[in-house]
């Protein structure tokens, strides 16, 4: 059955209001003209959108240019820093040159003046534990395979004269940073610094102790007498006592810089050692100076860097019980005011002919630098290379320039300071001394530098 698609359509009404039935032929498609709606505003604004895109490109271009300029500026700063500091990837030699960190303390001098090999071996603490620098740090040395031969080579590295060596020992310590172990084959002709390899542990945690001289001995540790202090020397100009000093090795003496600046010529000075009996002639025999080293940082106004070294032409004979060195303070040696400290001095009048000079000792206590720097005392003039020592009377203020300040710790006497100045000494009985611990590395560096003078 077919369906008439037009049977339900209403008839058209004409003007005579008569209804006429539409036939299929009368039906025509009806077309209605519709106006297209306006597009949305944003879709119809192609020109402003194009303009915004251009502005965005300009902004991005400006930002890129600014970023590039900033990067170029930073690169320029880094390059300037690199060329102004040539050791950005290495260590400074002391002049305008530098070397790689791996070249430091490798047994080969790469710096023009040899600074890279100057301070590579040291002693630590009151136990004289040997330490060697390498692979970026200081490490103890395993005692396995160690002998006097390696001990002498290590003393040589620290600036002592060839053959100077007292004894090696061992001590148990633990370390998280590893150790140095002697290589299986030792070559005496090679530097001791080339004879080690890194190891994580030592057998029984046993490491090397080393003493290059039998220092800091020979004085009654409970109550030193007015007799000898075997390291005390008299430095004389034109036959008269001028300054004091301390023996630290067979060849080397420590004194004050302002003393030797009076006449820096080695030939102008004569050195005499003290004796046990103050009634004996003080000035026999005479010793002569081959070289004088004055600290390059000495300032006569501030008294900083007031230290000097004298090297003797011939070594002192330590088999004489009246002569012996005081110990240079090792790294890590903790000196406090609890230890006994003494200033030794030569008093009286006389010359090389009469010998009427007597050796005296004055007990003192080392002060905290903050206390010494108070306005009522030295008003902030005590720098880190100085220390203060206080006594009970004005005898503290009578010590000669360059006279040693020594401290007893663990049965050993250490050179803590040398007398340099004290403009308020008589007011508070406080003297000022060079801090030898501060200058310890400098002393060994100069000893090695002038080892053959």
Of residues 219 and 326, the one with the higher pLDDT is 326
pLDDT value of position 283: 56
Sign of CA dihedral 333, 334, 338, 343: positive
**Using one digit for the tens of pLDDT, what is the confidence trace for 413-426?**
999 999 998 766 87
Does residue 239 surpass a pLDDT of 90?
no
pLDDT tens digits for range 252-311: 999 999 999 999 999 999 999 865 444 455 556 899 999 999 999 999 999 999 999 999
Q: Looking at per-residue confidence, does 126 or 61 come out higher?
A: 126
Q: How far apart, in whole angstroms, are the C-alpha atoms of residue 243 and residue 259?
A: 6
pLDDT of residue 23: 46
Token pair belonging to 46: 């192609």
pTM: 0.78
Q: Which domains does the chain have, with CATH numbers?
A: 118-211 (3.10.250.10), 218-452 (2.40.10.10)
Q: How far apart are CA 328 and CA 387, in angstroms?
A: 16
Tens-place pLDDT, residues 423-445? 668 778 899 999 999 999 999 99
Mean per-residue pLDDT for 438-453? 93
Would the pLDDT of 41 be above 70?
Answer: no
Lowest mean pLDDT among 71-85, 198-212, 239-253, 387-401: 71-85
CA distances from 157 to 93, 102, 137, 162, 392 (A): 18, 19, 17, 10, 42
Q: Catalytic residues, which ones? A: 258, 306, 401
User: Residues 168-198: pLDDT tens digits?
Assistant: 999 998 877 899 999 988 887 889 999 999 9
């Amino acid at each position: 059955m077919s369906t008439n698609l037009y049977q339900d359509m209403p008839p058209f009404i004409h003007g005579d209001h008569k209804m006429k039935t539409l036939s299929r032929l009368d039906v025509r498609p009806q077309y209605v003209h519709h106006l297209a709606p306006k597009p949305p505003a944003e879709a119809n604004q192609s020109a402003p959108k194009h303009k915004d895109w251009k502005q965005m490109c300009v902004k991005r271009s400006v930002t890129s240019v600014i970023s590039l300029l900033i990067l170029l500026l930073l690169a320029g700063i880094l390059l300037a820093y690199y060329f102004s500091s040539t050791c950005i990837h290495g260590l400074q030699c002391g002049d305008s040159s530098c070397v790689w960190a791996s070249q430091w303390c490798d047994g080969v001098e790469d710096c023009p003046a040899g600074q890279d090999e100057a301070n590579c071996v040291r002693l630590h603490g009151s136990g004289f534990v040997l330490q060697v620098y390498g692979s970026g740090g200081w490490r103890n040395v395993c005692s396995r395979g160690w002998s006097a031969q390696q001990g002498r080579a290590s003393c040589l590295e620290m600036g002592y004269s060839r053959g100077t060596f007292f004894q090696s020992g061992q001590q148990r310590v633990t370390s998280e940073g590893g150790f140095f172990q002697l290589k299986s084959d030792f070559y005496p002709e090679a530097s001791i610094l080339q004879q080690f390899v890194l190891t994580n542990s030592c057998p029984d945690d046993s490491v090397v102790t080393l003493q290059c001289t039998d220092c800091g001995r020979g004085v009654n540790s409970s109550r030193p007498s007015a007799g000898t202090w075997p390291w005390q020397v008299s430095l004389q100009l034109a036959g008269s006592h001028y300054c004091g000093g301390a023996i630290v090795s067979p060849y080397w003496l420590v004194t004050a810089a302002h003393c030797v600046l009076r006449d820096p010529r080695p030939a102008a000075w004569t050195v005499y050692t003290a004796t046990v009996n103050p009634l004996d002639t003080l000035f026999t025999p005479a010793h002569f100076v081959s070289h004088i080293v004055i600290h390059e940082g000495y300032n006569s106004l501030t008294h900083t860097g007031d230290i000097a070294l004298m090297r003797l032409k011939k070594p002192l004979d330590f088999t004489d019980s009246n002569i012996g060195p005081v110990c240079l303070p090792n790294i890590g040696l903790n000196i406090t005011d609890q230890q006994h400290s003494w200033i030794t001095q030569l008093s009286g009048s006389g010359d090389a002919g009469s010998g009427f000079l007597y050796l005296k000792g004055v007990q003192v206590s080392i002060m905290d630098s903050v206390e010494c720097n108070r306005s009522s005392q030295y008003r902030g003039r005590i720098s880190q290379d100085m220390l203060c020592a206080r006594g009970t009377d004005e005898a503290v203020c009578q010590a000669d320039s360059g006279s040693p300040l020594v401290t007893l710790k663990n049965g050993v006497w250490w050179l803590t300071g040398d007398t340099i100045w004290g403009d308020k000494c008589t007011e508070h009985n406080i003297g000022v001394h060079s801090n030898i611990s501060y200058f310890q590395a400098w002393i060994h560096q100069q000893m090695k530098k002038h080892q053959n003078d």
